[in-house]
Amino acid sequence: MQFQPSDDQQMLRAMVRQFVEQEARPTVAERDEQALWPGELVRKMGELGLMGVAVSEEYGGAALDYMSYAIVIEELSRVDASLGVIASVNNSLVCYGIEKFGSDAQRQELLIPLASGRALGAFSLSEPGAGSDAAAQKTTAVRDGDDYVINGVKNWVTNGDHADTIILMTMTDPSKGAKGITAFLADTRAPGCSIVKVENKLGIRSAHSCQMAYDSFRVPAWRRLGEEGQGFKIAMTVLNAGRIGIAAQALGIAQGAYEAALAYTKVREQFGKPIHEFQAVGFTLADMATRIKAARLLTYEAAWRKDQGLDYVKDASMAKLFASETAMWVATKAIQLHGSNGYSKEYPVERNFRDAKITEIYEGTSEIQRLVISREITKG
């Protein structure tokens, strides 16, 4: 058993840290405040190989392992959780899905630009009436000659307004329930695809979440991902991997909030001494550090299991559940340790607190993670 990242993984961490400290930190508060899309940073992330970390070189990726991917998302999110989710969706929900389930033509034509950062991907499963109950898809796809014609409304599409290719889940046979769901690689520039709204959100404001409509939207059959009826399985498979990414995002948010709190308690003096010297503060820092370490071990182990080809459904859900609840807990405590200053936008912990909340919700709520874990540990 090895608990130490390899030399290459440590170099990768240092590279991503330098990138976000130099290029993202100076503008993160403004981008959050104004919900500004970080287009230039996303372009640079592509150049650095961060948009297709675990995709093979043949298909434009950096050909690293999932441990490395977790480190990338953690380091991006330590400074800017919006960059974390933009990269996570492209890496694990989109690129992984196309590499695993796509045809050779789809990999050549669509995966290479996505993994190399020349194009951006999104993943579209949620609908107004299909959140946790992901199988309740109402968006329809009907075969018409060499095309499918798609009608429906999707929401919470991360990257939606900047994406080139969207993994779009539709219902092709409602009588079959989950087995009637079919996935497509939709070209967002084709007629019939429109952005209804970009959500005005509590956190991760610089990563855009969109409601999108499809009105007689035609997708050529070669863009169908997998077989008809395979869509739900594809969605669940990429979400298993995506949950490692969101666990890593939550871990990064927690780490950023903890570092800010630690630094603050060393310089903030009350009653004649730095406040970390008070036992109540010191113990809070100790609990933060301990929970973050536990979240990191869970997250890395889930990634390691995926790298080993072991089953990791339960492990990814455990990592996401624990890391997201840790992020929320740590960010709440980080504000408390800052006192009134923590409530001000002048300090980063207020943003960490708002960003942390979504990690308990998207890619499966904490309740859904508990459902997945309980099913896994009681089956057989």
Q: Which stretch binds ligand CAA (CB under 6 A): 63-71, 99-107, 124-132, 268-276?
A: 124-132
Residue 326 near residue 294 (C-beta atoms within 8 A):
yes
324 binds ligand CAA (CB under 6 A): no
237 binds ligand CAA (CB under 6 A): yes
Distance CA 308, CA 26 (A): 38
Range 195-224, binding ligand CAA (CB under 6 A): none
Distance CA 28, CA 205 (A): 10
355 binds ligand CAA (CB under 6 A): no
Q: In the chain, which ranges are continuous DSSP H helix? A: 7-19, 25-34, 39-47, 66-79, 81-88, 96-101, 104-106, 112-115, 231-267, 279-308, 313-338, 349-359, 366-378
DSSP state of 298: H
Range 291-320, binding ligand CAA (CB under 6 A): 313
Distance CA 170, CA 351 (A): 35
Bridge partners of residue 187, in order along the sequence? 165
239 binds ligand CAA (CB under 6 A): yes
Binds ligand CAA (CB under 6 A): choice among 233, 268, 357, 370? 233
Nearer to ligand CAA, 130 or 349 (CB): 130
363 binds ligand CAA (CB under 6 A): yes
Q: How far is the CB of 313 from ligand CAA (least distance, A)?
A: 5
Give SS3 for 122.
strand
Rg (CA), the chain: 21
C-alpha dihedral (293, 316, 369, 84), degrees to nearest 10: 70
Residue 51 near residue 87 (C-beta atoms within 8 A):
yes
Which amino acid belongs to residue 315? D
Binds ligand CAA (CB under 6 A): choice among 70, 134, 141, 303? 134
232 binds ligand CAA (CB under 6 A): yes
DSSP state of 130: B
89 binds ligand CAA (CB under 6 A): yes
Nearer to ligand CAA, 172 or 265 (CB): 172
158 binds ligand CAA (CB under 6 A): yes
Nearer to ligand CAA, 207 or 349 (CB): 207
366 binds ligand CAA (CB under 6 A): no
Q: Which stretch binds ligand CAA (CB under 6 A): 37-45, 198-206, 328-336, 360-368?
A: 360-368
Q: Site for ligand CAA (CB under 6 A): how many residues?
A: 23
Residues found near ligand CAA in the complex (CB under 6 A):
89, 123, 125-126, 132, 134-135, 156, 158, 178, 232-233, 236-237, 239-240, 313, 362-364, 368, 371-372
